[in-house]
Amino acid sequence: MPFPAVRPRRLRSTPAMRRLTAQTTVTPAQLVLPLFVREGATDPVPITSMPGQVQHSRDSLRRVAAQAAEAGLGGVMLFGVPAERDATGSAACEPDGVLNRAIADVVAEVGDAVVVQADLCLDEFTDHGHCGVLDAQGRVDNDATLEHYRRMALAQAEAGAHLLGLSGMMDGQVAAVRSALDDAGRTDVALLGYAAKYASAFYGPFREAVESTLVGDRRSYQLDPTNRREGLREALLDVEEGADVVMVKPAMSYLDVLADVAAASPVPVWAYQVSGEYAMVEAAAAQGWIDRRRAVTESVVGIRRAGADAVLTYWALELAAWLREDA
Ligand code: PBG
């Protein structure tokens, strides 16, 4: 065949042609908005390293949750910033702990119009900042931590959470939490396994957002960034343990892992566009070095194209507004 008889450009000729032949879509229902709530805050507190994001007060949290429902978002993912921390993160399990109260507040505000999700991990609640409790040698004790996760899950279910995000990367955490919920008759609460969560520099701004006290790193429990096969292994393990959804995190530097998991997983696969991904785009856009709206949109489209069924992104509300404009 004489070239260029094959002319792929025909399908790029007009906006209508491009719209009709688009192979990836993003809708508000596929977006989950992560939100921070700070114990004792009377007003929202800006997060310097995440321009545009705040630590919410109880009131502002309710308002933004209502906006999320109004915008048709798929869900909100709640993180608590407690006033007091201790060695075992005990506030995580108290019904009036900051996160459990926030769950109840948001459920009271939006009901089941959006999926109300809670971070199930100890790192915001421990004084040492690790995602689990420590043994006598100061190492993160996997199986002792599972007992805390089981109690935390029951407290979050009691507060009304629809879906629990297991982000601690302890072995067996999905099975442990599933059995705790089932034994308590809470077969209705869904579990998101942060299956392939890598030890990433891109969580940097999040550590400011939750006022993390961590010294050192999380490399003894989060995945090594060099390991592709292990991401898939972790995802399949979470599915076996009963995860309803599995996640890959961060997103942008791990799209290969996301594509692998998406190809193999029998359950929905989500990706978390983390704080550092947000901060990089915001910083470059603030300098005028990239077009903010186009860069944000393209980054989320890329994550969807790689195979994510839904995306956790700090831009969820703004992106939903743009999608409405463009529709
Ligand atoms: C742990 C947790 C972290 C994030 C979500 N859950 C931080 C960590 O593992 O250090 C990071 C999210 C982000 O960077 O946006 N509970």
- β-bridge mates for residue 193, sequence order: 166, 246
Question: What local confidence, expressed as pLDDT, does residue 13 receive?
Answer: 98
- Residue 5 in any domain: the answer is no
Atom of ligand 1 nearest to the CA of 119: 16
Name which residue sits closest to atom 5 of ligand 1, judged by CA. Answer: 167
Q: Spot the catalytic one: 56, 218, 249, 304.
A: 249
Tokens for 265, please give them: 């997983």
Please name the residues in contact with 118: beta carbons below 8 A apart, sequence gap of 6 or more. Answer: 77, 78, 99, 103, 156, 159, 161, 163, 164, 165
Q: Which domain holds residue 124?
A: 26-326
Alpha helix stretches (DSSP H) within the chain: 15-20, 58-70, 98-110, 142-159, 173-183, 204-209, 229-241, 255-264, 275-286, 292-306, 316-326
Please give the Cα distance from 53 to 321 (Å, whole number): 16
Residue 225 preceded by cis peptide, ω within 30: no
Cα-to-centroid distance, 55 and ligand 1 (Å): 15
299 within domain boundaries:
yes
The answer to whether residues 57 and 43 touch, using CB atoms and an 8 Å cutoff, is: yes
Atom of ligand 1 nearest to the CA of 194: 6
Residue 10 domain-assigned (yes or no) = no
Q: Is 183 helix (H, G, I), strand (E, B) or coil?
A: helix
Quick one: angle between helices 229-241 and 255-264, nearest 10?
40
- Note the pLDDT of residue 2: 75
Ligand 1 binding pocket, CB closer than 6 Å: 119, 121, 123, 131, 167, 203, 206, 218, 274-275
Give the mean pLDDT per block of 10 residues along the chain (327 residues).
86 97 98 98 97 98 98 98 97 98 98 98 97 97 98 98 98 98 98 97 95 94 98 98 98 98 98 98 98 98 98 98 92
249 catalytic? Reply is yes
The answer as to whether 40 is a domain residue is yes
- Tell whether 244 is covered by a domain: yes
| Residue with CA at minimum distance from ligand 1 atom 2 | 167
Q: Is the peptide bond before 2 cis (omega within 30 degrees of 0)?
A: no
Q: How many residues does the chain have?
A: 327
Determine the pLDDT at residue 326: 87
Task: Report if residue 226 sits inside a domain.
Answer: yes
Q: Measured between alpha carbons, how far is 57 from 289 in angstroms, rounded to an integer?
A: 33
Residue 8 is assigned to a structural domain of this protein: no
pLDDT of 15 reads 96
pLDDT number for residue 1: 67
Task: Kindly report the CATH number assigned to the domain that includes residue 71.
Answer: 3.20.20.70
Instruction: Look at residue 224 in the predicted model and tell me its pLDDT.
Output: 98
Domain count, the chain: 1
Contacts of 181 (CB under 8 A, 6+ apart): 153, 154, 157, 187, 189, 191
Ligand 1 pocket test target in 32, 98, 123 with most atoms within 8 Å of CB: 123
Q: Is 9 part of a structural domain of the chain?
A: no
- In this structure, which amino acid lies at residue 305? R
